[in-house]
């Protein structure tokens, strides 16, 4: 029997915008409005028993 063993792994990574520097009046509490939306990227990787690697 001719077989190949392959191990797979998947991960999901959130990409969010970091707040920028801003000016605030002295004595006032800083407030930065954020949308709360994030973009996501998915990573998929595989490796065979022979050491061949695949990424997507």
Count other C-beta atoms under 10 Å from residue 23's C-beta. 5
**Distance between CA atoms of residues 38 and 41, nearest Å:** 10
* In the chain, domain spans: 1-15+40-56
pLDDT at 17: 65
The model's pTM: 0.50
pLDDT at 1 over 90: no
At 4-45, the pLDDT tens digits run: 899 999 999 888 767 677 788 889 888 877 777 778 899 999
CA 26 to chain centre: 36
Which neighbouring-strand residues pair with 39?
A: 15
């Amino acid at each position: 029997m001719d077989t190949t063993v392959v191990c797979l792994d998947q991960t999901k990574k959130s990409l969010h915008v970091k707040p920028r520097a801003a000016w605030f009046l002295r004595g006032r509490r800083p407030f930065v409005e954020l949308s709360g939306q994030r973009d996501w990227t998915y990573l998929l990787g595989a490796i065979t028993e022979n050491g061949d690697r695949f990424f997507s």
